[in-house]
Chains A and B, each alone.
Chain A
Amino acid sequence: MKKLQIIFLMLFIAFNTSACNKYLVVKGNSGVYYGAFNRRDMIHADAKLYKFNSDTFCDGVIFLNAPSRAITFKQDFVEAKMFLSCNDGKLIDSNLQFRKGSYDRGFGEGVDQLNHKYVIEEISKKEFREKSNMKNIEFINDKSESLIKY
């Protein structure tokens, strides 16, 4: 019985401490953005990106066009959209590809309202920490901070 309690306790701690962020890098002519996204349900995730060595940051949302509810085909790539709204007035609209079940190995291209192109790629947590000089990105459910206005 004691063993079972320990197992449940370990599982509870693991569940609470595991971060479910996945990390992204967005490269454009104006600079490089490092950020993360956090899944909120089967099809949508919130995203936050910070421009490297700058005060600019972006807030956005990602959603999958066809999620997987099946046991099979979870590894297939599926189209996704990402909308970002930045505090310097920029809006970035991007088309991405993600794995259906896990949102893994994302990649794609985006464009802002001035037709500047951006290349988007998913990176590991280790790579994110090394390159961006940030430890982690927190997602707080505070609507007042949202940069998405419409």
Chain B
Amino acid sequence: MNLLQRKYLSLFIIFVLACNGVLAETIKDMDASFKTIPQGEYKHKTVKKHYRMYDVRIKNNGKKPVLLSSSSEVIFVSTLGQQEVSPSRRTIYRKSRKRDMGRYYWFALPGAIIAGGITGITFFLGAPIGAAVYVGMYLPTDKAVRNNVRISQEIFNTKALPIRLEPQKEYFLLIPAPKNIEVKKIVITNVSYDLNKQYDLEIREESL
């Protein structure tokens, strides 16, 4: 074997190793599919503004639990082969929450001054205005906070991606993807049985 052949052989070996490192094996014994939730059916307007929601079902048919790790990422693959990494749940919540306080402060201060001033003159006129200011401030902020709780419950709690997929158990998740991408496949990277050898978990669109 001459020098040139050796060079090509070593380049080929490096290429194969690199491919193995980049493209992880797909995990077996997993039954996973997703379907798109139509924009009209999803109720939270602030979430709909930035994201499209996907109903995901994952069942671990194997005998061992599948573990996620802090390097696991959710990747959306589009019909054109374009890939996009999902933002974190924290970012999704921050982007889609309703602002619960600062928005109504401009109303509170002049409102309170007027109400306070009038209360000084006559109790009967000042009190209803004060009450109106209180209700005007309290109700929208209360509504915003309650809405934020519902959003965070969906994103973090009831339909969040778990840290461990137990065997023979089915999980129903809600995964928000950025609106600009038409998702064909969802890939969860770096899942494993023992945190050593890493696999990919592929979620395909449910066929009708």
Which A residues contact B (CB, under 8 angstroms)?
40-44, 46, 61, 63-67, 69, 81, 83, 85-93, 112-115, 143, 146-150
Knowing that A61-B156, A69-B138, A81-B157 touch, tell me 5 more A-B residue pairs with CB under 8 angstroms.
A86-B70, A89-B69, A113-B195, A149-B72, A150-B86
Q: Which residues of B contact A42 (CB under 8 A)?
A: 100-101, 145, 148
Number of A-B contacts (CB under 8 A): 86
Cα A147 to Cα B73 in complex, Å, equals: 11
B145's partner among A69, A85, A86 (CB-CB below 8 A) is A69
B interface secondary structure, majority: mixed
Residue from B68, B101, B161 having most chain A Cβ neighbours under 10 A: B68
User: How many interface residues does B have (CB within 8 Å)?
Assistant: 34
Q: A112-B163, A147-B70, A148-B88 are in contact. Are A41 and B97 (CB under 8 A)?
A: yes
Q: B interface vs A, CB < 8 Å?
A: 67-74, 86, 88-91, 93-94, 97, 100-101, 138, 141-142, 145, 148-149, 152-153, 156-157, 161-164, 188, 195
Given contacts A42-B101, A44-B93, contact A83 B156 (CB under 8 A): yes
The majority secondary structure among interface residues of chain A is: loop
Pick from A44, A69, A89, A150: contact of B152, CB below 8 A: A44
27 A-B pairs whose Cβ atoms sit less than 8 Å apart in the complex? A40-B94, A41-B101, A41-B148, A42-B100, A43-B148, A44-B152, A61-B90, A61-B93, A61-B156, A63-B156, A65-B157, A67-B145, A69-B141, A81-B157, A83-B89, A85-B70, A90-B70, A91-B68, A91-B163, A93-B162, A113-B164, A114-B195, A115-B164, A148-B88, A149-B88, A150-B74, A150-B161
